[in-house]
Amino acid sequence: MNIAVVILNWNGRSLLEQFLPSVVKHSKEATIYVADNASTDDSINYLKNFFSDIKIIQNEINGGYAKGYNDALSKIDADIYCLLNSDVEVTKNWLIPVIETFKSSENIAAIQPKILDYKKKNYFEYAGAAGGFIDKLGYPYCRGRIFDTLEEDKGQYNDTLDIFWASGACLFIRKSIFEEVGKLDEDFFAHQEEIDLCWRIRNNGYDIQYIGASEVYHLGGATLEVMNPKKTFLNFRNNLLMMVKNTSGTSIWFIIFTRMILDGVAAFKFILEKKPSHFMAILKAHFSFYQNLPTFVKKRKKLSKQRKYYSISSVVWQYYILNKKLFNHL
């Protein structure tokens, strides 16, 4: 089984210097690529001088996460792609359980390892934790992370489990299925495009798994910090677009209406917290949603038969009203 570990880089020389050595040391079973998104720093020279064995793909523009990976992966021949963030430290034998799981069933399309916090290694990390899910309204949450509550890793998620979405921080996917479902949607640019991809994978009848026996440590916020208004804009806009694109039936419009009301609540919460730039980011996200809506309605018409995507109706209700902060309490 031929595996390509592909690290997308944009002006991240310092991250490559910090995290790439662990990938090289612990990934003997794979070929390592760095896909550069038209960096203007000395990332390429650094790689050529210090990691001459690593294969470099130079994209012509910075098209964000989605286009960056689509362009790079089109040039790589492998059975399995691993989309790995440049701020991830991997561990010894991290690839072995993943390879064994892919070999166990052709219907397994994608896999996520356990993702822990690089800064606080006994806690789960925000972007993916122990596998992702969404509620009926489209709010993403994870085993080990609901909204801003992060669980300590006590071995409670050392299992193998079917999940709804795998984190783009470390996403393994079969090349054949990646191409079959239409690759990453470049209209997202960045944020939640991996959830959209996983949703299409599941609607096409394939499975996505979390493998607790494989561990990585994610720094997080290396490209856009958690409280960057641009990140707020992309998350709010993309989530609405993703819901329109991937759900069937007329109930989606009630869901969108409900979501936009809740977005308004979130926006005014930012005002109360004296974060006006994030209030404006949500406002801009809604305007951008309306602008992109016709395009995504057309995409919706190409929807495969939909599998049930949620197990709880509202993680917001569970978390904020019922005070259920841990996944196992939902």
Residue-wise pLDDT for 246-305, tens only, equals 998 888 999 999 999 999 999 999 999 999 999 999 999 999 999 999 999 999 988 877
- Cα distance between the two ends of the chain: 38
Give the per-residue pLDDT at 190: 86
Give the per-residue pLDDT at 221: 60
Interatomic CA distance for residues 140 and 283, integer angstroms: 20
Distances (CA, A) of 202 to 40, 110, 199: 38, 10, 5
Give the per-residue pLDDT at 306: 81
The string of pLDDT tens digits covering residues 206-229 is: 999 999 999 999 998 645 455 789
The string of pLDDT tens digits covering residues 295-304 is: 999 999 888 7
Instruction: Judge whether 107 and 166 are in contact, CB under 8 Å.
Output: no
Judged against a pLDDT cut of 70, whether residue 324 lies above it is answered with: yes
134 DSSP β-pair partners: 140, 310
The string of pLDDT tens digits covering residues 184-204 is: 999 998 899 999 999 999 999
In the chain, pLDDT over 70 holds for what percent of residues? 98
Give the range among 87-101, 174-188, 297-311 with minimum mean pLDDT: 297-311
Alpha helices in the chain, H assignment, sequence order: 13-26, 43-50, 64-73, 96-104, 175-180, 193-203, 229-246, 251-272, 276-300, 315-316
User: Which residues are CB-neighbours of 259 under 8 A, at least 6 positions away?
Assistant: 137, 138, 239, 240, 243
Give the per-residue pLDDT at 226: 57
Interatomic CA distance for residues 186 and 68, integer angstroms: 9
Q: What is the mean pLDDT of the chain?
A: 95
The string of pLDDT tens digits covering residues 39-55 is: 999 999 999 999 999 99
Provide the pairing of β-strand 30-37 with 55-59: parallel
Distances (CA, A) of 161 to 83, 114, 168, 209, 210: 20, 11, 18, 6, 5
User: Which residues are CB-neighbours of 303 under 8 A, at least 6 positions away?
Assistant: 203, 245, 246, 248
Give the global pTM.
0.95
The mean pLDDT of 101-114, rounded to a whole number, is 98
Q: Where are the chain's structural domains?
A: 229-329
Give the per-residue pLDDT at 46: 96
Give the per-residue pLDDT at 208: 98
Judged against a pLDDT cut of 70, whether residue 160 lies above it is answered with: yes
The string of pLDDT tens digits covering residues 10-37 is: 999 999 999 999 999 999 999 999 999 9
Give the per-residue pLDDT at 305: 76
